[in-house]
Structure 1
């Protein structure tokens, strides 16, 4: 599982011209699922995201987590995080999970976030839809997490 986390002042996602999810100050998480990922992987990735200390404290140091600052979250499915462009100029996405598994684990990740933060603080995209994501990046501050690299 891969999560590209952007600290944001706000973010939103639209499908067919209608806003389907948003968040205020917090994180935009672009989430990609790999073929060997499980619910345990998703649970552990959420724990890593939840505890990640990339929010500023009163001294401007990145010492606080999303939970510490009462932040919100927007999670958007992003299979292209598994793009492989090592050969040629057209990326392959064969390293991404099949849609059924990816959809299930994306929803599971969002449910874990909702359990911890509450449903009102977790926005979602629409799995498999063509989406338009807007954000105001705070920093900018962007972090990439890969479950295999983290041993999750």
Structure 2
């Protein structure tokens, strides 16, 4: 499972010109489910997102607080293109991305794992498989690539 983790001041997802999810301070996480991903990868990603110290403390010291400490929110966005291969030719190859029906189960497990720790109101998501616009204000900027297989 691959993730692009971005510390944000705010973020939102729009589908068909309607905002379907939005957060204020927290993390916007693009999540790509690969063909070889399992529940173990779900657990690794959830644990990493919950334990990463990406936020400053009350004294404005960086890298001190987790998402829970900072009382932030998480906006997860399913992103099958994270597994694209572009080594050959000009067209991306998505064969390493898990197909929708299977991927949605693992993606929803990520959401459930995060909600169990942060609460339902602090974890938002997109409409799985929809064409959408994602808007965010990156803070820092802090952008981290994470692969559960590494």
Equivalent runs, 1:59-74 vs 2, <5 Å: 59-74=60-75
Name whichever structure is richer in strand by fraction.
Answer: 1
Question: Once superposed, what is the RMSD of the aligned Cα atoms?
Answer: 0.9
Kindly provide the CA deviation profile for residues 77-136 of structure 1, in whole angstroms up to 9, marking residues without a partner as x.
000101100001111111111211211111110111111111111110011000111111
* Matched residue SS, 1:40: helix
Distance 2:35 2:119 in 1: 29
Q: Which stretches in structure 1 are left out of the alignment for 5+ residues?
A: none
Tell me the residue number matched to 1:31: 31
Tell me the residue number matched to 1:5: 5
Equivalent runs, 1:2-151 vs 2, <5 Å: 2-57=2-57, 58-149=59-150
Q: Displacement, 1:40?
A: 2.2
TM-score (norm 1): 0.94
Distance 1:36 1:20 in 2: 30
* Matched residue SS, 1:111: helix
Distance 1:44 1:145 in 2: 10
Distance 1:69 1:59 in 2: 12
TM-score (norm 2): 0.96
Q: Which stretches in structure 2 are left out of the alignment for 5+ residues?
A: none
Q: How many residues align?
A: 149
